Amino acid sequence: MTGQERSNTAEEPPLGDLGRRLATRRRELGLSGEETAERAGIAPGYLRYLEERPEATPGTGALLSLANALHTTVPHLTGGDTEAPSGRARAGHHPRLTELNPLECRALLGSHGVGRLGVDTAAGPVVVPVNYTVVDGAIVFRTADDATPAMAPGGQVAFEVDRIDDAFSQGWSVLVRGPARRVSDTEELRRLSASVHSTAWAGGERDLWVRIEPSSVTGRRITV
């Protein structure tokens, strides 16, 4: 059973696209269904209905209330911004840029997610997204031998993760730099396979494990 399958057995995701987005966003904020419903001024049973029924079509007023309660936007809840890049909103009033300390950076890296890998190629620098996991402080990911991320081992790379909150014109970014190597030790491969949280979103066979040992970790945060 993969890490993704293990997480799904603990709490099955809602069926509808809106329901998944509602549930995911409130969990990001650490809110229960009851707390979210109270913030939005709706009945808890109605929120459960929206999260669990894919045919649910709430009105504009309910969507606005939920977006405000969850500190997000209606397009984000409904998937209307899926094809648009983050950061299209105007800058906030009196923004403040601060440097993050190493402890904050590592906390934001979390245990897993999607990051951007910067590697050198024959055609020049390339940045590609990869599903990653943090194991013992190192960034690890799986790829295919013929994929661009497979060019990382043996060189110095950059790895970046970020989060943009369009609703409040704020966000953060963390940059990791260090050497990348191919993982070949059998015991380490077994341990990494047991630690992975999900298969690569891109699918396909990805049997090459790459490990990035951070030599520097820096980050910045924009608040309003």
**pLDDT reported for residue 207:** 83
Per-residue pLDDT reduced to its tens digit, 76-99? 888 776 666 666 666 767 888 899
Contacts of 167 by beta carbon, 8 Å cutoff, 6+ apart: 67, 71, 72, 73, 76, 89
How far apart CA 219 and CA 173 sit, in angstroms, is 5
Q: Please give the domain boundaries of the chain with CATH numbers for all domains.
A: 3-78 (1.10.260.40), 96-223 (2.30.110.10)
pLDDT in tens, 13-26: 434 588 988 998 89
Output the pTM of the full model.
Answer: 0.67
In sequence order, the β-bridge partners of residue 216 are 177
141, two tokens:
């990911």
